[in-house]
Structure 1
């Protein structure tokens, strides 16, 4: 009797399940990357956030408290590529923002493409494309799934922040032209700007932003979550004697590259938000039966963060203002697309280190690694063993590139000489202050992709055709710089890897997880939400907690 009852219940459950319609796909997906956002900012600044920006995403969406980049270097180009490909530099090939090209014998940019030209300003930086990105993105996969009927638009202050997330098949990617204060594109996407972009550019919003005085959003005495406004750890803007509020932008723009100055202010985020709203309307995103995709990358957070450091009033202020931008964008999506018709995710391309000098002054181990000085002394050291030969071709991005031609004099001994040179250079570098470890190409290529620890971070960030012969990993708190003001990022340590990941919108349950997730899990998760295939180089997995009942 119990068996019969069990079978009847099972059949009934299957019948009910078969009657439940598949949840409808969203009309629009919005992927937001905040450049240089630490996970801790969500908590440190939370008392000053409004209720309908970041807090709305955390309250009504699902967020990860323990999401990390699983490779190094943690910088902008690889970060954007990894979020949208679900893979790492070892696979998608974007190993840094710029890297030394071993074939061309020069440094190249991650999105530079000499076959393309600017659209919107002939003299602007528009010779760019995603050509160096070696794997597909989630945006590419959406285009493939819909037979290119889906619209994909990428927008950022930085060209790489627009181009890499939008992928290879985008309808358009747009970035800020600091010469004109307008958004431009590339011939990779179009021959002329769409009418809606031209109309938006004609508003001349940068002139409006740069004609006013910039002060803190709240009374400055309320910024208790940050350090004092005047410290020796911050860079001064040209024309200012001290790095302090207020900033008279109308006067300062004359000494700071005119429209260049906008990127150093929170108003750049306002500008990007307005451009996003214009794109939603102009491209009619989310208006038909095909799911569209809008990618946004907020960059002024990174530019201000580099100059001032994570403990500055300026950094806190830019996030309080960004909170209002997120609220504005969500309200626009509610009205134009519909609350139940879109999915939004927000993350960052990397986090950031504390200012090394600030740590040193507070007796925390930290320091500065000067690559130029190291290269000069290393070449001098190698002359003892290889007189008359230039063994080191370049040291770029904490990677050492050997001059392979220097070992081709005698084919019989070239391999042995290279092994000797490798051991000599590794020993020399390990003796330098701030160097934690040095990894050789042979060691990295023999290691498994899922290797643990710091070594695994290096392995997943290493591309054999593009990366150097040796990879330098610095001690925690150390980074390459010759200045004690400001800070940077790029290390494999948690302060650079831990970033927010938040999902919000149609069908997204409320909650959070403290389980470790690599950033490469974002793209597969979006794939499952859209029922499309994973990007072709993806190594991540869907975030199970998001789908658990």
Structure 2
């Protein structure tokens, strides 16, 4: 009988302990540091095509220890760098956050404006205008802003990228700092007075160390070039060259190319630019004491050299393959640094891209796969002639950029017609033009709801005040360019929208999904993980499979 009582007491004691543990479960995870990584112009298939040559500690570590969203897409047009970074961090699309491109025609100012330009602030770290930047043109909050609010500014937020837009937009409005690389003769990391009155000591120390100088060296393949079987021949007609080169082939002698390619700006277009970014990210973690306490900090890192390499050499170049193999090593080094400085299992990482890229259209042509080039000049000339014949004016088109037509509203008013009338006439006319898949008027995008297809993607990228009057979609494989070498991006076709999305670290499940996920889901997943309020423009949803 005594034993029965003892067993019963033990049983109920354990029940009470389990109940207490259950009661103490928290509906959030609090890593010491969140690291957001955006790889500029990374297609999803770069993860699979180069898999066999990746090491165990970079991309493979994220997949093997974390969660892989295999069917991740941008859900809007245009797929541009600034819009991509803003969408990743706001959990919204350009329709809401207002970053409709890297630059766009501003109807109020009657000029092209750059996404982060700010004439009110001053440069820090350089005497040039390279630092006159801020996030003020982004009109929605970011997950980094929400972290600052949730921690009453005790959690630090730092943004880092070779590109100003790649650091500023992810860091958000309330960041402690955003830094970008100014090349030319300086080779320094800079910022603006939007964030601070003077550069921190650790940034000055890094700049004074001439850390960028060590990457002024010859770019040879990391491994035997014969093993780069996921790429086409090194010497081909589809790749661009650095100024001063006769062929787009290895080796690329940076010291010899230095003066003709912008000096330190040359580092942006080679994989060493990603290595320099990693160096600076590690310096930021130490200099800012990120991840040192139980209040979550956030480091937003964008690797931009991949984009410059892709634009010049294209999707299937050996230079592109080599750049990703080297980035994999940089990631392995960086994750090992985080293990040591923050603690393995104490930080959370996500990795994605700001857009993908189309295969070089001239290469597609050689393979008899649909693709080619769209002439902006021929398009505008034909359309202007049509509008002159129809409405009696050749001044109706004010601007054509980002595949958007902006009309001269003063000219329309002078003619006594409506903007909708001109927009509809243009849409009807250009459906007969070569290499145009679809076109929609701004009036229709404002007044109708499109639930799927390219129209839906255009609508999610359409900003009420900033977007054009007619939006054009080119045929798959076609780009608005006369340059037959290298690649670009910007469309809503799968080759531009399908990007990797990997999570690993504290609070992240191990697994994978082929369920469609979308770029705005990222910020909302991170906010759900941390238990903080979603960004103000939220349109995505948390990816429930990712979070423990």
TM range (shorter): over 0.9
2:141 is aligned with 1:126 = no
Report what 1:523 is aligned to: 523
Secondary structure in 1 matching 2:489: coil
Q: 1: distance between equivalents of 2:170 and 2:191? A: 14
In the TM superposition, 1:276-291 aligns within 5 A as: 276-291=281-296
Residues 16-50 of structure 1: per-residue CA shift (max 9 Å, x gap): 52154666511110000000001111110001000
Preserved contact between residue 120 and residue 184 of structure 1 (Cα < 8 Å): yes
Report what 2:55 is aligned to: 50
Distance 1:268 1:466, change over 3 A: same
Ranges in structure 2 where 5+ consecutive residues have no aligned partner: 1-11
Report what 2:499 is aligned to: 499
Secondary structure in 2 matching 1:59: helix
Preserved contact between residue 389 and residue 406 of structure 1 (Cα < 8 Å): no
Report what 1:5 is aligned to: none
Report what 2:433 is aligned to: 432
Report what 1:4 is aligned to: none
Select 1:294's aligned residue among 299, 310, 313: 299
Report what 2:417 is aligned to: 414
Moved more, 281-290 or 269-278: 281-290
In the TM superposition, 1:208-223 aligns within 5 A as: 208-210=214-216, 212-223=217-228
Q: 1: distance between equivalents of 2:249 and 2:538? A: 45
Preserved contact between residue 479 and residue 488 of structure 1 (Cα < 8 Å): yes
Report what 1:197 is aligned to: 203
Distance 1:21 1:545, change over 3 A: closer
Preserved contact between residue 309 and residue 315 of structure 1 (Cα < 8 Å): yes
Ranges in structure 1 where 5+ consecutive residues have no aligned partner: 1-7
Moved more, 285-294 or 325-334: 285-294
2:312 is aligned with 1:312 = no
Report what 1:486 is aligned to: 486
Report what 1:98 is aligned to: 103
| Offset, 1:367 | 1.4
Residues 164-197 of structure 1: per-residue CA shift (max 9 Å, x gap): 0000000000001012111000111112110000
Secondary structure in 2 matching 1:125: helix
Report what 1:542 is aligned to: 542
Report what 2:463 is aligned to: 463
Preserved contact between residue 420 and residue 443 of structure 2 (Cα < 8 Å): no
Secondary structure in 1 matching 2:130: coil
Preserved contact between residue 30 and residue 294 of structure 2 (Cα < 8 Å): no
Q: 2: distance between equivalents of 1:157 and 1:312? A: 22
Distance 1:21 1:409, change over 3 A: closer
Q: 2: distance between equivalents of 1:419 and 1:49? A: 53
The structure 1 segments of at least 4 consecutive aligned residues displaced by more than 6 Å after TM superposition are 8-13
Residues 326-347 of structure 1: per-residue CA shift (max 9 Å, x gap): 0011001000000121101100
In the TM superposition, 1:351-366 aligns within 5 A as: 351-366=356-371
Report what 1:182 is aligned to: 188
| Offset, 1:11 | 9.6
| Offset, 1:289 | 2.7
Distance 1:491 1:10, change over 3 A: farther
Q: 2: distance between equivalents of 1:255 and 1:419? A: 49
Q: 2: distance between equivalents of 1:15 and 1:197? A: 47
| Offset, 1:12 | 9.2
Report what 1:441 is aligned to: 442
Preserved contact between residue 366 and residue 476 of structure 1 (Cα < 8 Å): yes
Secondary structure in 2 matching 1:31: strand
Matched residues, number: 535
Q: 1: distance between equivalents of 2:407 and 2:243? A: 39
Q: 1: distance between equivalents of 2:321 and 2:351? A: 18
Distance 1:10 1:422, change over 3 A: farther
Residues 392-422 of structure 1: per-residue CA shift (max 9 Å, x gap): 1111110000100112226xx432xx34422
Report what 1:256 is aligned to: 261
Q: 1: distance between equivalents of 2:43 and 2:325? A: 14
Distance 1:532 1:19, change over 3 A: closer
Preserved contact between residue 124 and residue 177 of structure 1 (Cα < 8 Å): no
Select 1:242's aligned residue among 241, 247, 271: 247
In the TM superposition, 1:260-271 aligns within 5 A as: 260-271=265-276
* TM-score between the two structures when normalised by the length of structure 2: 0.95
Report what 1:3 is aligned to: none
Select 1:73's aligned residue among 73, 78, 100: 78
| Offset, 1:13 | 7.1
Q: 1: distance between equivalents of 2:448 and 2:544? A: 28
Report what 1:372 is aligned to: 377
* TM-score between the two structures when normalised by the length of structure 1: 0.95
| Offset, 1:14 | 5.3
2:349 is aligned with 1:344 = yes
Distance 1:409 1:323, change over 3 A: same
Q: 2: distance between equivalents of 1:433 and 1:10? A: 73
Q: 1: distance between equivalents of 2:54 and 2:23? A: 44
Preserved contact between residue 444 and residue 459 of structure 1 (Cα < 8 Å): yes
| Offset, 1:363 | 0.8
Distance 1:165 1:21, change over 3 A: closer
Report what 2:152 is aligned to: 147
Preserved contact between residue 123 and residue 130 of structure 2 (Cα < 8 Å): yes
Secondary structure in 2 matching 1:414: coil
